[in-house]
Structure 1
């Protein structure tokens, strides 16, 4: 997100050289933290945790997914699943237009919540998250959804209170993943991230220290950026004005040698001061 925001700002002309240098160091530091610590090892978002649970249960990308509720949480998890190549979605929502809106994004089918009890297409996974205070998936509705299917199913219930009746879990072969379990895992993972903060802060501190030198070097580069053009102007003035008569009196071979000497001197006059300045910076860190 930060990189995307920076690129948008850069393209709009709102950034300068200093911010470019800062951004390069920020990206480098973030990569080092990500690679050299465990801070990103375990997810903390409910959506990511729910997805991980589904993967642990070996759900395939073409499994039949019933999404009950088209609110923000289910939108996030459904789009996350689509991103990971899941493709068979049926969306149920109290408001059909909202179900249709989400179904369009997922290339799925939309239904009203009232149509749930009559759904006969079968399913492998139910993901439910509604704002209802009443049970949505009753044992009666669940049996109708099974339609005689005896395979073990997966229910991901992210609603508070839960949308699934306890009897559904007790009386059927179900992998049940509910919101409080995921929240507990998230809390544990957050604590693990906190434990990694010390290592992350060390990496950040080292990069800040290195960045101070990088920044000083860049300031010298900018301060001396006009040197090459100035040297070219001095050379041009010397050849075409101050020593023009003497040079014109030379034979062609001498002129060629002189030009090569001047070009060599020009390059050295540009590079040597920069090298000396950088050496001074390094030796006086």
Structure 2
């Protein structure tokens, strides 16, 4: 069967956060998912890698064409989501479209924040995990190495990453819409990962009255808080202390909400209905969406920030055309490599078949010489035998063909077996 490179999944354009969070995969789930995917389709899925971030969950495969249509249903089944609920949000790209998609994703052209650099690191992490899981082979390895190279080329030769408006900066802008000057605001960060670190950096520049980091592991919270002279607290202290904070920014890897409607509602009563800005950058979400119903709470999801960020990205759009041109050229190069790779087994088989004929004819010649046959006669028989076997396949194909197939062979054979004058 023919093997294609393909990708399928959903992203911030095709699906809202309420759908994305249902198929999001934390790091610890990636290897079991890769094993499950390959097991579900046997040898039909040769290679696979999974990229899962706040904004997308995508599966990259080297798979037999015959199972391509069945692959998206696996994603729904793996997450126990009805296929009908997921299908309207899924996309699938095959062959050169799949290659182009990978190149665009890594280059930041398919991101919520145009040109953002984090996606490249996330893709590298996904490839590293796939390698550790034993699900990478020659095809995807080559695809991703070229993907990283293209992303580097796009970033170095275009202005796609210039004037980046990050999600962290957007979170600050949203808080300032409510409070104006943040100098008197008390800010709580839930989590201690890269996104929270970026947010803390942006908020620290506004010199809020207080900054506190809450994390399940207090050691990680203290490490991050030390950079900003911030305080720390355990997640278990949230029910008692949430009311202290004017701004809450959360981004953890929790599979369940950390802040529920009841907890936040109690905090607003303690605050005597002073406003609270809550920014949820996690997928799956850390804050129950019902919290938005509370009159004194301004809750923003990752999708809300994305809309704000896009409004500030016009300065980079002029670089998109240049970036797309680079990507198109590199897609053609990769597809040429794929086609060349497909020819290798054919060439190897031709060489092996010729070698088998050579061995058989030489052995026959040696037997004739051992019986005392004339060397000249043996050489003539050797040449005749090689010629007959050399021509047997083409002649048989020509004699057995009809109509269009025969005409195609008539046109092709002179190129495969050029006349003496044509070989000079």
The runs of at least 4 aligned residues of structure 1 exceeding 6 Å deviation read 39-42
Relative to 1, partners in 2 of residues 1:78 and 1:161: Cα closer, same or farther, differing over 3 Å?
same
For residues 74-107 of structure 1, give each alpha carbon's deviation from its aligned partner in whole angstroms, at most 9, with x where no partner exists: 1111122112322401211010111111222222
Query: Which of 23, 36, 53 does residue 174 from structure 2 map onto?
Result: 53
- Equivalent pairs, count: 162
After superposition, where does 1:69-84 map in structure 2 within 5 Å?
Answer: 69-84=191-206
For residues 160-211 of structure 1, give each alpha carbon's deviation from its aligned partner in whole angstroms, at most 9, with x where no partner exists: 122111221113422222211222333444355214789xxxxxxxxxxxxx
Aligned twin of 2:222: 100
Query: Which of 302, 316, 319 does residue 193 from structure 1 map onto?
Result: 316
Relative to 1, partners in 2 of residues 1:154 and 1:121: Cα closer, same or farther, differing over 3 Å?
closer
Aligned twin of 2:302: 179
Counterpart CA distance in 1 for 2:275 and 2:162 is 30
Aligned twin of 2:412: none
Q: TM-score, normalised by structure 2?
A: 0.35
- Which 5+ residue runs of structure 1 have no aligned equivalent? 1-38, 199-285
Aligned twin of 1:89: 211
Q: Does 1:136 align with 2:258?
A: yes
SS in 2 for 1:135: coil
Counterpart CA distance in 1 for 2:273 and 2:177 is 21
For residues 202-257 of structure 1, give each alpha carbon's deviation from its aligned partner in whole angstroms, at most 9, with x where no partner exists: xxxxxxxxxxxxxxxxxxxxxxxxxxxxxxxxxxxxxxxxxxxxxxxxxxxxxxxx
**How far is the alpha carbon of 1:121 from its aligned partner?**
6.0
Contact 2:183 2:207 in 1 (8 A): yes
**How far is the alpha carbon of 1:128 from its aligned partner?**
0.8
- Which 5+ residue runs of structure 2 have no aligned equivalent? 1-159, 322-424
Aligned twin of 1:232: none
After superposition, where does 1:259-278 map in structure 2 within 5 Å?
Answer: none
Relative to 1, partners in 2 of residues 1:149 and 1:106: Cα closer, same or farther, differing over 3 Å?
farther
**How far is the alpha carbon of 1:120 from its aligned partner?**
6.3
SS in 2 for 1:169: helix
Counterpart CA distance in 2 for 1:128 and 1:120 is 12
Q: TM-score, normalised by structure 1?
A: 0.50
Counterpart CA distance in 2 for 1:132 and 1:64 is 24
Relative to 1, partners in 2 of residues 1:185 and 1:143: Cα closer, same or farther, differing over 3 Å?
closer
Counterpart CA distance in 2 for 1:132 and 1:197 is 35
Counterpart CA distance in 1 for 2:169 and 2:208 is 14
Contact 2:277 2:298 in 1 (8 A): yes
Relative to 1, partners in 2 of residues 1:115 and 1:81: Cα closer, same or farther, differing over 3 Å?
same
Contact 1:65 1:88 in 2 (8 A): yes
Counterpart CA distance in 2 for 1:104 and 1:49 is 24
After superposition, where does 1:7-22 map in structure 2 within 5 Å?
Answer: none
Counterpart CA distance in 1 for 2:188 and 2:307 is 25
**How far is the alpha carbon of 1:68 from its aligned partner?**
0.9
Counterpart CA distance in 1 for 2:224 and 2:203 is 13
Contact 2:192 2:213 in 1 (8 A): yes
